Structure 1
Amino acid sequence: MSSHTEPHEESQAPERSEALSDRQLSLLAPDLFDEPEKKASLLALRDLHRNYDSVYQQYIQAKIRLEETYVNDVKPIMDQRKQYLDRADIYNFWSCVFDNCDTLRDNITMKDAAALRYLTDVSCETKTINTVAESPLNNPDWPVGSFVLRFRFRHNPYFEDQVLTKAYVMCDHDFEHPSETIGCSIVWKPGKDLTVKTLRKKTQNGKILVRKQSTDSFFNFFKPPKLPDEDDEEVDPTLVEEIEEVLDADFEIAECLRDDVIPRALLYFLDVANQSECYSNHDSSEEQDVEDRSDNDGDDADVDDDADAM
């Protein structure tokens, strides 16, 4: 489990009004507080900020209510879609969806792609005001807007799990930025861990040394890095920046899945999600382009299994 970076300054919840008492203003801006005109202006600015703070909280509450309506209306649609996909046995539906999304495809290796062919469903559950008690999201420490991504798999030769999860605990008063990211452990079958590679080296006396090393894989998504303790003075700032960049990229993938890929999965499966024109008005030249791309994909099929990316 890891803490995410703080939200961008322009997106943070406003400073709490109660923190701007007269006494605190006198300590924060003593030079202004000692001059009557400047003090009056400073107090007026404080009052305006309090008004803004009140409006912002109303805005957040309105978004929460709207999110509740959206989640309730979308859930039965997603449930019916899953039923139709299961009934039709379209085994490659979600692997094609991922392959046709630039953000996801860039994080998928050739070996990942083989495992993702066993993916049967991707869903998102968001915490709302009325989240049911049975839900894992019914955690009093998780603000409204926190969400869990679920990836369901058929029995496969790679891991034992049938469901992999990734949870995002959103910032209080601002459910658009995560404060925590929680992955899950994957029970890999022997020799099938896609997140590590095995290095073998022959020594001078003929012995073989075996060493495992982390490697690029989409499945690293389920084990996000941890930020070091803020009180640890020995932490390398460069390392912190690198981890923050990884967590930013991680949340970009999560947002892509939650807001785009999951609701528009059919369009990605048909490879028309990125086209600006009406989906039903492709002319013959566009159809020919699709056929040409398919032919080219076939020409490139014989690729080394150890390639790092698709």
Structure 2
Amino acid sequence: MVEKVDIKNRSGKMSAAPTPQNTPSSANNTTFGVKEPQFKTIDEGDEDLEAIDGRLDSLRNLTSQRISELPTSVQKRISSLKGLQKQYSSLELQFQRELFELEKTFAKKYGPLFERRRELVHGEKEPSEEEIKKGIPEGEEVSKALEGKNQKDQQMKGIPEFWLTAMKNVLSLSEMITPEDEKALRHLIDVRLVYMEKPGFQLQFEFEENPFFSNKVLTKSYYYLEETGASNVFMYGSAKGDEIQWRPNADLTIRTVVKKQRNKNTKQTRTVKVSEPRDSFFNFFSPPQMEDEEEENPGLDELLELDYQIGEDFKEKLIPRAVDWFTGEALEDYDEFGDLDVEDDDEDAESSSNENFSDSEDDSSENEDEDRTAHSKQNPAECRQQ
């Protein structure tokens, strides 16, 4: 079980739930993994954080002092209550561990259902009449769902863009997907959840042969800490993703920009190609890593929490109810949409360093990202406590 974390994501107000028919081919997306998330942290939201810490310390000291002044008989009773609390914590820890094992047990039971889903989505097998009947809403005529196939039906294999459409209907995931990513994600066959021996879980993304990378399966593993938190739940520790084997000139996480440079001495100009990171869903497989405690990185905690939240959204939202996200029905159960605020997002391209040459202007770029200047803000979404 994992301790709750509050994550703030951007969102946009939608007039209707996205479906395969009305989901836009491109959206205002942002990327996870390239830059710090654009939401307020507690440090940014309160200019007098040190004063708050001081008041909390004062309150703790005052409480401790008051308890120490209580009669000895009362202090003994308090000690006995602490003993009972320790016993409770021990049982709570046992409960959380057994609950985690129960999740793993049922994950195995879900396996055949998800494997059958994979076969239908990829078009490896066709559904039986009995399977179709079970999925027809009550009151709808069965005969309509079982009508004969026309020529167009016979040419279409499986359910095209099933996972891409489902992912785009989960707000936190759609924000990560760029138009260029969509071309690669159309080759996504299946998304699976696997529990590991060490406390944690692994997300597996299976792809068909595609022109972007040679990996058949990309994995992202989330590990829990050995110790538990104050409430005896497993706490997120770290994450690790597979290295993507990009094909030549197909890396979606970088772009090559052609720039002009001017020699400071001769005033001559030349053109150079510079590789720059860019927004991409596939940055998800290069998660932020914890650093030495002595090194300060104010944005790291937010990046780690956001990375874990994305993994939880795959685990708790997308994978269990993929077809409901594909049709847009799952959106009825999630109040994810807030007011749409538009703000400028000006990004300056980094200049390549050279002792004698300096950049004068960008000449052209290869694999340019589409301009995305409108971003939306979302109310805090609470991670499901397992």
TM-score with structure 1 setting the length:
0.69
Given residue 67 of structure 1, which amino acid in structure 2 is its aligned partner?
E
**Is residue 107 of structure 1 aligned with residue 176 of structure 2?**
yes
The offset of 1:8, in angstroms, is 5.9
**Is residue 150 of structure 1 aligned with residue 208 of structure 2?**
no
The offset of 1:175, in angstroms, is 5.8
Q: CA–CA distance in 1 between the matches of 2:326 and 2:277?
A: 31
Q: Which runs of 4+ in 1 moved over 4 A?
A: 6-9, 173-176
The offset of 1:68, in angstroms, is 3.4
- Counterpart residue number, 2:270: 207
Q: CA–CA distance in 1 between the matches of 2:164 and 2:250?
A: 19
**Is residue 80 of structure 1 aligned with residue 107 of structure 2?**
no
- Contact preservation (8 Å) 1:91, 1:118: no
From 226, 231, 243, the equivalent of 2:289 is 226
- Contact preservation (8 Å) 2:3, 2:233: no
The CA deviation string for residues 116-155 of structure 1, in whole angstroms up to 9 with x for no partner, is 11111100101xxxxxxxxxx34xxx22xx1100001111
**SS of residue in 2 equivalent to 1:307:** coil
Q: CA–CA distance in 2 between the matches of 1:198 and 1:250?
A: 26
The offset of 1:38, in angstroms, is 5.7
Q: CA–CA distance in 1 between the matches of 2:209 and 2:173?
A: 23
From 79, 90, 95, the equivalent of 1:54 is 90
From 192, 203, 210, the equivalent of 2:250 is 192
The offset of 1:264, in angstroms, is 0.8
**SS of residue in 1 equivalent to 2:331:** coil
- Counterpart residue number, 2:21: none
Q: CA–CA distance in 2 between the matches of 1:276 and 1:49?
A: 36
TM-score with structure 2 setting the length:
0.56
From 217, 223, 233, the equivalent of 1:169 is 223
- Contact preservation (8 Å) 1:147, 1:167: yes
The offset of 1:268, in angstroms, is 1.4
Given residue 214 of structure 2, which amino acid in structure 1 is its aligned partner?
E
Alpha-carbon distance change, 125 to 51 in structure 1, aligned in 2, over 3 angstroms: same
- Greater helix content: 1
The offset of 1:48, in angstroms, is 2.0
- Contact preservation (8 Å) 1:110, 1:308: no
**SS of residue in 2 equivalent to 1:115:** helix
- Counterpart residue number, 1:118: 187
Q: CA–CA distance in 2 between the matches of 1:276 and 1:149?
A: 23
- Counterpart residue number, 2:322: 265
The CA deviation string for residues 265-302 of structure 1, in whole angstroms up to 9 with x for no partner, is 1111122221359xxxxxxxxxxxxxxxxxxxxxxxxx
**SS of residue in 2 equivalent to 1:150:** strand
**SS of residue in 2 equivalent to 1:68:** helix
- Counterpart residue number, 1:17: none
Given residue 120 of structure 1, which amino acid in structure 2 is its aligned partner?
I
The CA deviation string for residues 11-35 of structure 1, in whole angstroms up to 9 with x for no partner, is xxxxxxxxxxxxxxxxxx8994997
- Counterpart residue number, 1:181: 239
Indicate the RMSD between aligned Cα atoms, in angstroms. 2.9
Q: CA–CA distance in 2 between the matches of 1:157 and 1:65?
A: 40
Q: CA–CA distance in 2 between the matches of 1:168 and 1:246?
A: 14
The offset of 1:99, in angstroms, is 1.8
Structure 1: gaps of 5 or more residues: 1-5, 10-28, 127-136, 278-303
**SS of residue in 2 equivalent to 1:210:** strand
